[in-house]
Structure 1
Amino acid sequence: MSIGSTLLLLDAPNNLEFGIDFNSWKVGPKFRGMRLIPPGIHFVHYSLNEFKTGFFINCTNETMVYKWSSENEQFEPFQLDIIPNYDEYLGLYPKEMTLWKEHFEYINMKTVNRMISNHVNNGSSSLYSVVLEKELQRDLDKLALATNSEPITVPTKEKTDWVNFTSLNLKYSYPPNATPSEITKYSVDKSYLLSLVLDILAEFSITFILFHLGQFYDAFEHWKTLVKVITSSIDFIESENDTFKKLIKLFIKQIKEFPPDFDLEFIHWSCINLVENCLECGVETDFVLYLNKKFGWDLLNETEQPLVVE
């Protein structure tokens, strides 16, 4: 008996680009889904007419059925009394699973369901990507300001799902009723903010997956916030050293996935900040060596230079 789940995607439209985890393909008219998906959590993503969306699935060696909704332009859960045999129309999950294992290691459905509301009833969660709408709205707002005219609102597709990121305000990073000394300390040390994230390893992973594979703009903004918090949490670095080491290893894996033309300035300064904060914690060697080899950054010397403050 084959070990792995089957994902049936019925009535898939023409010109659909389908992907699961770090793999994607342009599918043909006979495409009906994928089989032999290894046990664990996976991210299914697809795009049609420039909009990209996706959902998480928790595979436990079963068959999951989705059907394309022309009205909502997305796959939705579908019930079948009898599961047809579509094996000849199903793609095989790629044997090479290194990236999936590396990036999904800390993801669990409890955190997925906490972050993504309105999850469907078969152990998966979905989202709607709004990156194109946000960019268009930003341009329209600028145009209205320049011409002194009334703002124009972009007509948007109705969103039935939303991602509930942990709220982190970098300007107010100290506890409620903090003393003056605590305000001073935690305005620099973001460890209090980091303590608000219920499962930092899972949320950091999920956020990266949502923007890297799902092209979800809000996830990219939250990922940048998490990077700022992680690299500035001095108390956390000292008190939660094992978790911190895992976060840094995960951060390196994420950086490896960025395309060559990606603007790395934000990451560069965050890495300088991180090295300054963990020079004595004994985990910076691999991190510094990798960034030096990858980008030519001499972080140990750069920490002596003035930092750019936003």
Structure 2
Amino acid sequence: MKKRQIIVKRWNRTTEDLDDVVKSEEEIERLRAGLKDIDKNLGAYPYESLKKWVGLTQHISQSVLESLEPVSKNICSRSQIESEETRSVRDEGTLTSECGSSLLPTAHASSSSSVQSDVTVQESQLRLSRVPDRKFPADATPEEVTRHSMDHSYALSCMMRDYYGNDIKNLLGELQFCFVCFLIGHVYSAFEQWKCLIHLLCSCDEAITTNPDLFMKLINTLHFQINEIPEDFFVDIVSRTNFLTTTLQMFFSTLEESTTVDSQLRKRGLQFRKHLTKKFKWDFTQPPDDCQPVIVDV
């Protein structure tokens, strides 16, 4: 009977990365038996931050993590790239081994006949969902186009169906995954995705009424996330506007003005607004710039 082999991670001092190392079950058992012996060489877990960490990651299930993490399972602040020449050599080597052909151009000929460029290694990229650019159905009437462009509930429902299996935990899991990847790993693409998802959710009028549980959990998620960032982090240097204040303002206005929204959700949302106003001195009373009246000189 063939013995089962298990892959463990080992730190490589040369590459400063974790390598996959194959171990047998017997070796794994010996490692587990000796865990207590290495405790004195490890840092103590900061249990005082456990509650905070749970609040930042509680919706990131194993399935959510496996669907979003790079194929390489390494999350880097800078995407790995390879040159066109390197890619040509790799591709030609694969073709040669598969086809047994000696008629393929050499790496030197390939690189001299084309402009050398860099391409992103796909295995190192996060596999995030895609927020649709078009927020309305393909056969929408002009009236529907206007409505769906203002209320993004249709776009949210499409994403829930296509990416999240209509499970709000999967959506919130990606929101938390993106935030943690930026907070800990400094991955800018994750930050941009986080902003897109926040803007989408805060632009939904109908969904706030039909799915109050999602937005109740969204408020709780944002509460933990906002506490981890500096007050002026989202301020645009040019316009001096704060991304979160302008985005959350739409959400709070919907909660305040809608007659069909769940009363508990409205209460929780307005309490959250009061908390943000008191703690960060953020002003949610001024309408966004695009809602301000425009004065035209004739």
TM-score tier, shorter chain, comes to 0.5 to 0.7
CA RMSD for the aligned pairs?
A: 3.0
The letter for the 1-side match of 2:186 is: Q
Aligned equivalents of 1:270, 1:64: Cα separation in 2: 44
Structure 2 residue 249 is matched with structure 1 residue 267: no
Q: Percent identity?
A: 26
Aligned residue among 167, 174, 192 for 1:221: 192
**1:135-181 C-alpha deviation (Å, 9 max, x unpaired):** xxxxxxxxxxxxxxxx996x6895633211111134x1123333333
Aligned equivalents of 2:120, 2:156: Cα separation in 1: 34
CA distance change for structure 1 residues 76 and 156 in 2, over 3 Å: closer, same or farther? Answer: farther
Structure 2 residue 53 is matched with structure 1 residue 100: yes
Higher relative contact order (CA 8 A, sep 6+): 2
Q: Which has the larger radius of gyration?
A: 2
CA distance change for structure 1 residues 306 and 161 in 2, over 3 Å: closer, same or farther? Answer: closer
Report the secondary structure of 1:166's partner residue: coil
Report the secondary structure of 2:291's partner residue: coil
The letter for the 1-side match of 2:194 is: W
Structure 2 residue 148 is matched with structure 1 residue 186: yes
Aligned equivalents of 2:76, 2:126: Cα separation in 1: 9
What runs of 5+ residues in structure 2 fail to find an aligned partner?
Answer: 1-5, 82-114, 165-169, 236-241, 293-298
Deviation for aligned residue 1:111: 1.1
TM-score under structure 1 normalisation? 0.63
User: Hey, what does 1:90 align to over in structure 2?
Assistant: 42
Aligned equivalents of 1:306, 1:156: Cα separation in 2: 38
* 1:41-190 aligned within 5 A: 65-69=8-12, 72-80=15-23, 81=27, 82-83=30-31, 84=34, 85-96=37-48, 97-118=50-71, 125-130=73-78, 160-170=123-133, 172-190=134-152
Report the secondary structure of 1:128's partner residue: coil
Aligned residue among 221, 241, 253 for 1:276: 253
Higher strand share: 1
Q: Which runs of 4+ in 1 moved over 6 A?
A: none
TM-score under structure 2 normalisation? 0.65
How many residue pairs align between the two structures? Answer: 221
**1:208-259 C-alpha deviation (Å, 9 max, x unpaired):** 1111111101001101101110110111111000111110221122111112
Higher helix share: 2
Deviation for aligned residue 1:64: 8.7
Structure 2 residue 277 is matched with structure 1 residue 292: yes
Structure 2 residue 209 is matched with structure 1 residue 209: no
CA contact (8 A) 1:174 1:192 kept: yes
The letter for the 1-side match of 2:136 is: Y
